[in-house]
Amino acid sequence: MNHAHPPVTVVGLGADGWDGLAATGREALLAAEVVIGGPRQLNLLPPGCTAERVPWPSPLRPAVRGLFAEYAERRVSVLASGDPMFFGIGRTLAEELGADRLRVLPHPSSVSHACARLGWPVEETEVISLVGRPIASLSRSLHARRRLLVLSAGAATPTEVAALLRDRGFGPSRVRVLEQLGGERERHLEGTADDWPHAPGDPLNVIAVECVRAADTVRLSAVPGLPDQAYEHDGQLTKRHVRAATLAALAPAPGELLWDVGGGSGSIAVEWMRTHRSCAAVSVERDPVRAERIGRNAAALGVPGLRVVTGAAPDALTGLPTPDAVFIGGGLTVPGLLEACWAALPVGGRLVANTVTLESEVLLAGWYRRYGGELVRIAVAHAAPVGGFTGWRQAMPVTQWAADKATAGPAAVKATAGPAAVKATAGPAAVRATAGPAAEPAVEAAEGETSP
């Protein structure tokens, strides 16, 4: 604990307010000189709590350090909803003030209350927060027979969730809204997404969804290699089987950042981000029409945080956050592109490049001789009618080079440094901070996303 100033006590509070607090929470609030919280939470305090009541400023995070510096010499308590460390203010305070300055007194979260009402095991229930997040992020969690708890952003969220479920082909899903959990005004509403009958109610609500996929809805897997028809595209699409092999070579891990250069329809970046909620990606696409399409695909498939940059590589790569992996789906013959992507990678980073042209294949063969890695040819054939019979229809073979910069050695790393090197500035967190539902448009270099 940091003893330079009195600790900041963060008290979890439920819809039952003061009556639901444990003795330690009550004691902390009665002893406080300043209590900070939302207006609704501050109004739950009894008259006997004589501390100065300070509502959160807006925007909140930029004001945190200054606010607590102002009250640094006084005993401060903070009111939080439920468990402060579960999608709550506790995380922000720990990041801005330091965890050693906090004393956290959790209360049962809305998720614990909801699972208790529903009879759902907490450990088997997926939780998605829509507080400050685009509703499209719910899409990636829609799988038949899954149970979801959605933390609502307000009174209108249940109606919006029902509309999204219908739009994504999950209209038959059972939806229950649990309002004011644990309080005197607790209320439950029920229906299906297809015929959601309820007007907006209490803003303090949690939405329980039992996912049921409509019979005509395309099934989307949890692993890379989604059906091609899941994407809107103009032909510039890395096809399903090659896409699955490409993601395997890129080997995404939680918290990592991908550059998808020559985004086309964005399928590689989308499926990279679908592997884990903490994965981030930047899709670089020179064609503005395709860039907008990438944004639509990302939203439809549940990763609206995909950042799309419109411009021509390698120039459009300057200033992007440092990637953990780079995929080049087009434009390999553009002068300096491979050099810039390789130089931007840290030691241990991975580069995967696909091509269907002889000119680019020769280029990849040269990089393979210089840096090693794996050079493979992926050939896919589909059964198709041949008159009254069936034969194989061969797609264009794809040549793929995959290399790990850790295996290249100091000489190889040094060889790529120079004027063409891209100066990357930050990590995945920087991408997440700049991404959002209205992501900027994106880079396709000469050839576009591989489309065998």
Q: What is the pLDDT of residues 98-145, one digit of tens each?
A: 999 999 999 999 999 999 999 999 999 999 999 999 999 999 999 999
Give which of 313, 344, 352, 350 is closest to 425, Cα–Cα. 344
Measured CA to CA in angstroms, residue 297 lies from 203, 269, 432, 440 at distances of 30, 10, 18, 14
- When pLDDT is cut at 50, 70 and 90, the band that residue 5 belongs to is confident
Q: What is the mean pLDDT of residues 260-266?
A: 95
3-class secondary-structure state, position 79:
strand
Q: Could you tell me the strand order of the sheet in which 8-13 lies? A: 52-55, 34-37, 76-81, 8-13, 102-105
Question: What span, in angstroms and rounded, lies between the C-alpha atoms of 116 and 204?
Answer: 17
Q: Are 350 and 364 in contact (CB under 8 A)?
A: no
Structure tokens at 390: 């069936």
Angle (CA) 279-282-284 rounded to 5° is: 155
Angle (CA) 207-274-111 rounded to 5° is: 25
Q: What is the mean pLDDT of residues 215-235?
A: 94
**Each residue's pLDDT tens digit, 77-100:** 999 999 999 999 999 999 999 999
> What residues have CB less than 8 Å from 28, skipping those under 6 apart?
9, 11, 77, 103, 105
- When pLDDT is cut at 50, 70 and 90, the band that residue 41 belongs to is very high
Q: What is the mean pLDDT of residues 204-212?
A: 97
pLDDT exceeds cutoff 80 at 427? no
User: What confidence score (pLDDT) does residue 263 get?
Assistant: 93
Question: What span, in angstroms and rounded, lies between the C-alpha atoms of 421 and 200?
Answer: 54
pLDDT exceeds cutoff 50 at 446? no
Q: What is the mean pLDDT of residues 242-260?
A: 97
Q: For the ranges 6-20, 224-238, 267-281, 433-447, which has the lowest average pLDDT?
A: 433-447
User: What confidence score (pLDDT) does residue 407 get?
Assistant: 55
pLDDT exceeds cutoff 90 at 444? no
Q: What is the mean pLDDT of residues 314-333?
A: 95
pLDDT exceeds cutoff 80 at 420? no
User: What confidence score (pLDDT) does residue 3 get?
Assistant: 54
- When pLDDT is cut at 50, 70 and 90, the band that residue 38 belongs to is very high
Q: What is the mean pLDDT of residues 416-432?
A: 42
User: What confidence score (pLDDT) does residue 240 get?
Assistant: 95
> What residues have CB less than 8 Å from 155, skipping those under 6 apart?
200, 201, 202, 203, 205
**Each residue's pLDDT tens digit, 53-77:** 999 998 999 999 999 999 999 999 9
Q: What is the mean pLDDT of residues 391-402?
A: 95
Structure tokens at 373: 């890695």
